[in-house]
Structures are given as C-alpha cells and as structure tokens.
Structure 1
Amino acid sequence: MSLPKPAMRGLLAKRLRFHLPIAFGLSIIAAVAFKFTVTEPRKQAYADFYKHYDSMKEFSAMREAGVFESVRPTGK
C-alpha cells in the first residue's frame, strides 16, 4: 500500500482562485465598515464643532489665560 502522490502542478493557481476573492471581499467589507464607523462620525463631529466655533472668543480666552507670550492680556 503506497501513498498517493501530492498534486503539485497548478497548486498555487488553485489556491489563489479560492483565497483571492475572499481576501478582496473581506478587505472591501473592512473598508466600508471603517468608513461608516470611524470617518463619518468624525466628519460629523468636526462639522458640529465648527458650526458654533468662535475663533475670536477662543483667542480672547487664551490671551486672558496668558498662553501667548507676544500678546498682553487686556486689563478689562
């Protein structure tokens, strides 16, 4: 009783035909999941923040706190 010979010819092509579509499918699913779970909420958070952001009010608060060395706080 002898062991059957292993099928070596065309082995890579056979395995690629099976694994390549799975790899592409999983990568597309991961990219779509990342887009809708990370980037879209992040873009919405930035939009909400800058909708009501007042840069001059922020600058005045930092100036009063003494953050800047070249700008003196006003004596209000």
Structure 2
Amino acid sequence: MSLAKPVMRGLLGKRLRFHLPIAFGLSILAAAAFKYTVTEPRKQAYAEFYKQYDAVKEFNAMREAGVFESARPSGD
C-alpha cells in the first residue's frame, strides 16, 4: 500500500479561501473591541476633564510657580 500523492495544485488558493475570511473577521472584531474598551472611555474621560478645565487659571498657577521663563509673575 502506498500513500496517495498530496494535491499541490491550487493549494494556496484553497487555504486562502478558508483562512482569509477568518482573518478579516477576527481583525474587525479586535478593532471593534479596542474601540469600545479603550478609545470610547478615553474620549469620555477627556470630555469630562475639559468640561471643568480652566486654561487661564492653570496658566496663572504655572506662571506664579515660575514654570515659564518668558512670563513673569504678576507681582513683579
């Protein structure tokens, strides 16, 4: 008894027809999971932070602390 020869012609196309849709499906699933578990909560956190953020108040606090070299504190 001898083993049958493997069919090599068209093997790549046959494997791609099986694996390519799976790869696309998993990549879309991973992208959706990343979007809803990482980016959406991050965008929400930024929105919450900037609702009550006062840039002028923050600038004045940093200027008073001497962070900037070109902006003097208002006391000078």
2:45 matches 1:39 = no
Root-mean-square deviation (CA), in Å? 0.8
- Helix, strand or coil: the match of 1:16? helix
In structure 1, what residue type is equivalent to 2:59? F
Displacement of 1:5 in angstroms is 0.4
- TM-score if structure 2 supplies the norm length? 0.93
What residue ranges of structure 1 are gaps of 5+ in the alignment?
none
Shift of 1:74: 2.3
In structure 1, the residue matched to 2:71 is 71
Write the distance in 2 (CA, Å) between the matches of 1:14 and 1:56: 64
1:3 counterpart letter in structure 2:
L
Task: Give identity over the alignment, percent.
Answer: 83
Give the paired residue count: 75
Residue in 2 that maps onto 1:29 = 29
Residue ranges of structure 2 left out of the alignment (5+ in a row): none
Q: Which runs of 4+ in 1 moved over 3 A?
A: none
| Corresponding residue number in structure 1 for 2:62 | 62
Q: Write the distance in 2 (CA, Å) between the matches of 1:51 and 1:11.
A: 58
